[in-house]
Structures are given as structure tokens and as C-alpha cells.
């Protein structure tokens, strides 16, 4: 098969994404021998491995990055021998996307382990190929089967970067060993506002030594610097291994841009020459979409909120609490308007409609910020007494951003939507909270659970003040009251959540776990 015919049989690449063509000839069985390569430097590099994400029953995104203009080639099969493999010629990775590229593999079998491998073909010397990089993922089943997922957030924050002598970002290896079907990254995937120094002195007299990079030497203000922040985390061996084996569902929070930012904000932070939070956010979102296996929405390519069905047992709703929010204020508004918005009206309507339409037993709302933990905005360039998250700390009837929560919870109850669970991160400790209308100031809702996890590799904080508006009953908190803040990863106080739905009983078991994988708290939730 000549190259022209091969390209014609492959789907056209649009916006840096290609879809699958079912061609059975292996990528490695070239009709002409590849050029003789005497040095790996002559081959296109694959410095950050591979990732999969946004997996559905019949399709998935496969992502990688190279170091020069090169075309992404992907082969997939249902066995690791790659017998009878299918392949796709993907898009060209060019400087405009920082040499990242992705393929939307379609026509995949449901409920099946998929093995894939990628090559990059040097566009300047088409006979020169990169070394292959391999990965795997499992597509959701259309029937009932046991499904599991991990969740956490808050990565490389407070100056705690990749310490190879300590073992790197150990949490990724701990989570990988649990073999989840997918991972929800609940935001703060980078700390664009947190430079990483080569060394940090620890209280015991030892030194934490970071891998450093130019992009992490200052706060990120350019597209190149934001890209460098995402690339930095992929220098970690544990993360690359994890991403090759566990599909990602990614959302963002504040530190992808700057601590506690909101659209339209003018920064008073003297570290920044670029003072527009909206401009910084545009760079950050572009870099985040480039460096993660997102499936771009054809109408709104920058849209982050979306949902994913995992058979009849589970649907995950990934929401965006940054792009559409109003300013951080005392959070006491009495009506829903542009100032009190958190999800914003369009996203709130979408979430209600999607929950109502869902036929999954369990509906998991992945929120990048917790509901009742009070998060004040303590930045020195904002007025005192302003708040960053949903809660306003007054413990009374819903006001400000809490009005959106009340609207959503009321809608869920009125429409008899069952088995809704929230998972989140942001606050750098783990907790499990049961929301009971019998304890609440706002009572028009069905009881539900919220689970908080994190950090992955960042400072540990907490516990936070709890706002009692929605009747939170904190069943577990991983950190004691009065704990000294910003505890280093060496203290071991890093946390992730693990959820498992039994295929037979549909019981959802959620555990909160530490850096070693030890279960600290677990609860079995029976479906209504």
C-alpha cells in the first residue's frame, strides 16, 4: 500500500486530532526499509511517553509529544502481541501545538483491554521513525461489570517538585498498583504560580532536592512557560508509567493559572508583569488542552465540562468551576447573577439536564472544589473577607455561590435522581462528609456523600473550617486540628481516593488512602 492510499483510507486530521482507519498492516512493516539511524538524536524523540483519556465504550484519545515536526502514527490491538492490529495515520505534530498530537481511536470493542503503540515519523526525513512507545487502557463495558477509579489532585505545589532521590512522585506509582479503570485528576495539575527551587531545607536538617527547569524558575506568564509547567510534571517516571496504563479524566482549578484567580481579575501580585488573569488563563488553558488527552468539543474546543458513561453502573460528570465564575467576594449575594456565579447558568443547566438524562446507577460529580470546606481568599492583593469556593462561612441559609448548590440539590431531589456522589480535591487533605438535611439550614435535598483527596505531590494543609449550611457531617478527616501547615511529602500525608462499584450488587465502595496505599477510611454505599 503506498502512502497516498494509506492516508486516503485514514480519517482526516482536524484541529490536531485524527480518527481511526482500520488498516491491518503493522506500522513497523514498512514497504521500504527505514533509514539507518546511528544515533538516537537523529530520531524524533518521545520525551513524555504516552497518555490515554476521555475513554468511551467505542473510542479513546491517545496522546503523545515529540521534539520536532513529525507525524503521529498509532497502532492498536486487543492483545499485547499486536496480532491483527489496526492502525491510524494521525496528525502532524508542529510547533503550533508544541509538538503534541493526539488521535481519537474509534470503532473500539466495548469492555475490552486495548493495547496501543505510537511512532513519530520525521516530516523532514520520512524514513526516520522514533522509537515506539506503548500503553494500554480498558474500554467501558455495555453490560454490568465491576468498575473502579481513583481520584486526587494538587501536584508539585508549594515548591515540592520531583525529588528523584526520594523516589519522585510516589503517589502515581501507589495509585497505578491499584489498577483502576481510570483516574480523575481533580485540578491543580500544575502550580503555575509556584516556582520550584533546586533545594528546600527540611525541619529534620535534611534537604529536599528538586529536579528543576527553566519554566519552573518563575511564575508562568507566557504560553511557553505554561507549557513548560505541564512538561515538568511529565519528567517524573512514576507519572509517565501511570499515564501509559491508566486513562485520565482531567479538570482544572486555580493553580493552573494563579492562586484563587477569576475571569476579569487584575492581579496586584508584584511577581507578575502580565496582570490580566484572563490573559494568563487563556495561555494556561491552551497549554492544559495541549498536554492532556482531552477530546475537543467540535463546537467549543475549549470546553472542559463534559460527562462519561462507564456502562450501566456509572456516569462521571466533570465540571468546570473556573471559566464561568464571578469575582471572589464576601459571597453573600441573595440572588443568582453574574457576581454570584460559580458554574454559571449554561453549565448549571447542562449539569441538571445531564443528571436527569443519566441512566447509570451511580452519578459521580467531579468538582474541583469542595462544597462545605471554607476556602478564604487570602491573597494580599484582594480585599479581606472574600471567599474562593462555594461556602461563605456564615452557616446560614444559602447565599452567594451557595445558591447554585441549593438549586442543583433541589433539582436532584425534585426529579428523584438517585445515587449522586461528589469527589473533589483542592484543600490538600482527605475527608469524607455526609450531607444530611436534618442537620442543615437548607433542607430541600436528598442526603449524599462528598469525598476529598489530595495532594498528589504537594504540601499538606488543613483541616478547614466547615460551613454548616447543607448539614455536613464530617465522618473522617486525615489531618488533626492545629496541625502545622504545608507539611512536606516526606511526612507521608499525601492522599488519594479509590472507588469500586461491584458488578453484581452495584454497591459502591469508596476508600481514602495514604501514600503507601493503606486504607484510612472506607464506606460501602448501597444504591437506592
Domain boundary among 98, 117, 138: 138
Domain final residue, candidates 138, 169, 184: 138
467, 401: one domain: yes
Residue 438 sits in the same domain as residue 328: yes
Q: Are residues 242 and 377 in the same domain?
A: yes
Q: Looking at the structure, tell me whether residues 242 and 104 fall in a common domain.
A: no
Q: Is the dihedral of CA 276, 277, 278, 280 positive or negative?
A: positive
Distance CA 150, CA 127 (A): 41
Instruction: Check whether residue 202 and residue 234 sit in a common domain.
Output: yes
User: How large a percentage of the chain has pLDDT more than 90?
Assistant: 92
pLDDT tens readout for residues 449-496: 999 999 999 999 999 999 999 999 999 999 999 999 999 999 999 999
The CATH number for 329's domain is 3.60.21.70
- On the question of pLDDT at 19 being above 80, the answer is no
Say if CB 517 and CB 180 are below 8 A apart: no
Domain boundaries, position 15: 3-138
Q: What is the largest CA-CA distance in the chain?
A: 73
SS3 of residue 451 by DSSP = strand
Q: Classify residue 15 as left (phi > 0), alpha (psi -120 to 50) or beta.
A: left
Read off the pLDDT of residues 112-163 as tens digits, 9 standing for 90 and up: 999 999 999 999 999 999 999 999 999 999 999 999 999 999 999 999 999 9
**Residues 259, 401 within the same domain:** yes
Check residue 41 and give its pLDDT.
Answer: 73
Q: Read off the CATH number of the domain in which 98 is found.
A: 2.60.40.380
- pLDDT tens track for 218-248: 999 999 999 999 999 999 999 999 999 999 9
pTM of the model: 0.93
Predicted confidence at residue 93, as pLDDT, reads 98
8 vs 192 pLDDT, higher one: 192
Question: Do 130 and 51 share a domain, yes or no?
Answer: yes
Mean pLDDT of the chain: 93
Q: Is the pLDDT of residue 8 over 70?
A: no
512/407 Cα distance (integer angstroms)? 29
At residue 24, does pLDDT exceed 60?
no
Domain end call among 80, 108, 138 = 138
pLDDT higher than threshold 50 for residue 22: no
- Regarding whether 30 and 159 lie in a shared domain, the answer is no
- Whether residues 116 and 257 fall in one domain: no
Mark whether 218 and 116 lie in a shared domain: no
330 and 414 co-located in one domain: yes
Q: Report whether 93 contacts 101 (CB < 8 A).
A: yes
- How many domains does the chain contain in total? 2
Question: What integer pLDDT is reported at residue 239 of this predicted model?
Answer: 98
Amino acid at each position: 500500500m503506498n502512502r497516498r492510499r494509506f492516508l486516503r483510507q485514514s480519517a482526516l486530521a482536524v484541529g490536531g486530532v485524527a480518527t481511526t482507519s482500520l488498516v491491518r498492516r503493522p506500522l513497523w512493516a514498512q514497504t521500504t526499509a527505514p533509514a539507518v539511524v546511528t544515533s538516537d538524536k537523529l530520531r524524533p524523540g518521545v520525551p513524555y511517553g504516552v497518555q490515554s483519556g476521555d475513554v468511551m465504550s467505542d473510542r479513546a484519545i491517545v496522546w503523545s509529544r515529540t521534539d520536532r515536526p513529525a507525524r503521529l502514527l498509532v497502532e492498536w490491538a486487543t492483545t499485547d502481541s499486536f496480532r491483527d492490529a489496526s492502525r491510524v495515520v494521525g496528525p502532524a505534530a508542529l510547533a503550533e501545538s508544541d509538538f503534541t498530537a493526539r488521535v481519537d481511536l474509534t470503532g473500539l470493542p466495548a469492555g475490552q483491554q486495548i493495547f496501543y503503540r505510537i511512532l513519530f515519523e520525521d516530516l523532514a526525513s520520512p524514513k526516520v521513525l522514533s522509537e515506539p512507545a506503548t500503553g494500554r487502557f480498558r474500554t467501558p463495558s455495555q453490560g454490568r461489570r465491576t468498575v473502579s477509579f481513583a481520584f486526587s489532585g494538587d501536584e508539585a505545589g508549594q515548591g515540592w517538585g520531583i525529588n528523584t532521590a526520594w523516589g519522585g512522585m510516589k503517589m502515581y506509582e501507589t495509585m497505578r498498583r491499584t489498577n483502576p479503570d481510570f483516574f480523575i485528576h481533580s485540578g491543580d495539575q500544575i502550580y503555575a504560580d509556584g516556582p520550584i527551587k533546586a533545594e528546600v531545607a527540611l525541619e529534620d536538617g535534611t534537604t529536599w532536592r528538586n529536579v528543576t527547569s527553566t519554566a519552573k524558575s518563575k511564575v508562568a506568564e507566557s504560553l511557553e512557560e505554561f507549557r513548560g509547567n505541564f512538561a515538568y510534571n511529565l519528567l517524573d517516571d512514576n507519572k509517565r508509567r501511570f499515564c501509559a496504563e491508566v486513562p485520565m479524566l482531567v479538570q482544572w482549578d486555580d493553580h493552573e493559572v494563579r492562586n484563587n484567580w477569576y475571569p476579569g481579575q487584575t492581579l496586584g501580585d508584584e511577581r507578575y508583569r502580565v496582570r490580566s488573569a484572563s490573559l494568563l488563563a487563556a495561555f494556561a488553558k491552551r497549554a492544559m488542552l495541549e498536554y492532556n488527552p482531552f477530546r475537543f468539543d467540535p463546537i467549543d474546543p475549549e470546553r472542559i465540562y463534559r460527562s462519561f458513561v462507564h456502562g450501566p453502573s456509572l456516569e462521571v460528570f466533570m465540571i468546570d468551576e473556573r471559566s464561568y465564575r464571578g469575582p471572589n467576594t464576601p459571597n453573600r449575594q441573595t440572588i443568582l447573577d453574574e457576581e454570584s456565579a460559580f458554574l454559571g447558568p449554561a453549565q448549571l443547566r447542562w449539569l441538571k439536564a445531564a443528571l436527569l438524562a443519566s441512566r447509570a446507577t451511580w452519578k459521580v460529580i467531579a468538582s474541583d472544589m469542595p462544597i462545605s470546606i471554607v476556602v478564604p481568599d487570602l491573597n494580599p492583593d484582594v480585599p479581606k473577607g472574600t471567599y474562593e469556593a462555594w461556602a461563605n462561612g456564615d452557616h446560614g441559609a444559602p447565599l452567594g455561590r451557595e445558591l447554585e448548590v441549593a438549586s442543583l440539590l433541589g433539582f436532584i431531589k425534585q426529579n428523584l435522581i438517585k445515587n449522586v456522589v461528589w469527589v473533589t480535591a483542592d484543600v490538600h487533605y482527605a475527608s469524607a462528609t455526609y450531607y444530611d438535611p436534618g442537620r442543615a439550614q437548607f433542607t430541600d435535598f436528598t442526603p449524599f456523600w462528598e469525598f476529598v483527596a489530595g495532594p498528589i505531590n504537594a504540601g499538606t494543609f488543613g483541616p478547614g473550617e466547615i460551613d454548616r449550611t447543607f448539614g455536613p457531617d464530617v465522618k473522617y478527616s486525615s489531618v488533626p486540628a492545629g496541625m502545622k501547615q504545608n507539611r512536606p511529602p516526606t511526612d507521608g500525608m499525601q492522599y488519594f481516593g479509590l472507588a469500586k462499584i461491584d458488578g453484581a450488587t452495584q454497591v459502591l465502595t469508596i476508600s481514602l488512602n495514604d501514600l503507601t496505599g493503606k486504607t484510612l477510611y472506607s464506606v460501602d454505599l448501597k444504591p437506592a
